[in-house]
Amino acid sequence: GIQVEQSPPDLILQEGANSTLRCNFSDSVNNLQWFHQNPWGQLINLFYIPSGTKQNGRLSATTVATERYSLLYISSSQTTDSGVYFCAVGNWEYGNKLVFGAGTILRVKS
Amino acid sequence: GAGVSQSPSNKVTEKGKDVELRCDPISGHTALYWYRQSLGQGLEFLIYFQGNSAPDKSGLPSDRFSAERTGGSVSTLTIQRTQQEDSAVYLCASSLNSGPYNEQFFGPGTRLTVL
């Protein structure tokens, strides 16, 4: 089955710093989502981005489907950005079952 | 509007007992998915329903796990004869359908602890 790798596994930032999280996947996909898991375990939708670039406030994401990777950019990080970031991919031809990466644990220090 | 809801939020049970976990998808969403998150395995797919089609059970780890979706809405995941390795957070998600351009939205999860 498809493999999803996220890097880095852990990241510690000073408040105000920028960061880039990466997601590599091993096969063609037509669904890709980025999530933030908050301290209570809730998965918060950040982006639905099977291709192209999107921006939402301090966050933006780019997916290059032909090269099988996606990037999540966090600018001017805040302590509330702390948590685990997951990339998940799927293929709607197979029911869109999401395959998750192992996540990036982000800690933003004040 | 209301998001995906799950109940109970926490469940503690003894090894060997049966448990039922409930999921209420977003109104109008025809696709419903169950996943689980455990320390050793990360987030993994269990089963999905699309409308009235037969469910895709390819992710269920054993025949002790089953799920139903009644009336195309509420779903129940049942684990029979629970084992300690079943301890995990069980997450439900829904989307408008399982075709293109469909984003999945997750519920808050049920944390299952098997003693």
Domain-located, residue B112: no
Q: How many CA atoms lie within 13 A of B53 on its CB side?
A: 14
> Cβ of A8 under 8 Å from any chain B Cβ?
no
Q: Give the domain CATH number at A30.
A: 2.60.40.10
Q: Distance (Å) from the C-alpha of residue B53 to the closest C-alpha of chain A?
A: 11
Domain count, chain B: 1
The reported pLDDT for the residue numbered A94 is 80
The reported pLDDT for the residue numbered B58 is 94
B12-51: b (≥16 Cβ within 10 Å) or e: ebeeeeebebebbbbeebbbbbbbbbeeeebbbbbbbbbe
Q: CB count, 10 Å around CB of A51?
A: 13
Closest residue by Cα to residue A2 from A66, A68, A62: A68
Span of A94-98, A100-104, B4-8 with lowest mean pLDDT: A94-98
Domain-located, residue B103: no
Domain count, chain A: 1
DSSP letter for B51, please. T
> Cβ of A31 under 8 Å from any chain B Cβ?
yes
Q: CB distance A42–B44 less than 8 Å? A: no
Tokens of residue A71, six digits: 């990037």
How far from the centroid of its chain's Cα atoms is residue A19's Cα?
12
Domain interval for residue B91: 5-97
Are B94 and B104 in contact by the 8 Å Cβ rule? The answer is yes
The reported pLDDT for the residue numbered A91 is 87
Judging by DSSP bridges, how do beta strands A10-14 and A104-109 pair with one another? Answer: parallel
Q: Give the domain CATH number at B70.
A: 2.60.40.10
Check residues A92 and A71 and name the one with the higher pLDDT: A71
pLDDT in tens, B30-68: 999 999 999 878 999 999 999 888 899 999 999 999 999
Compute the CA torsion angle A26, B99, B52, B19 (nearest 10 deg). 50
Are B1 and B105 in contact by the 8 Å Cβ rule? The answer is no
Average pLDDT for A15-24? 98
SS3 B85: helix
> Cβ of B53 under 8 Å from any chain A Cβ?
no
The reported pLDDT for the residue numbered A39 is 86
The alpha carbons of chain B give a radius of gyration, in whole angstroms, of 13
> Cβ of A17 under 8 Å from any chain B Cβ?
no
pLDDT in tens, A29-69: 989 999 999 888 999 999 999 999 999 999 999 999 999 99
Q: Give me the residue from B37, B48, B99 closest to A97, CB to CB.
A: B48
Domain interval for residue A69: 4-109
Residue with tokens 């979706």: B69
Residue B1 banded pLDDT, cuts 50, 70, 90: low
pLDDT in tens, A75-92: 999 999 999 999 999 988
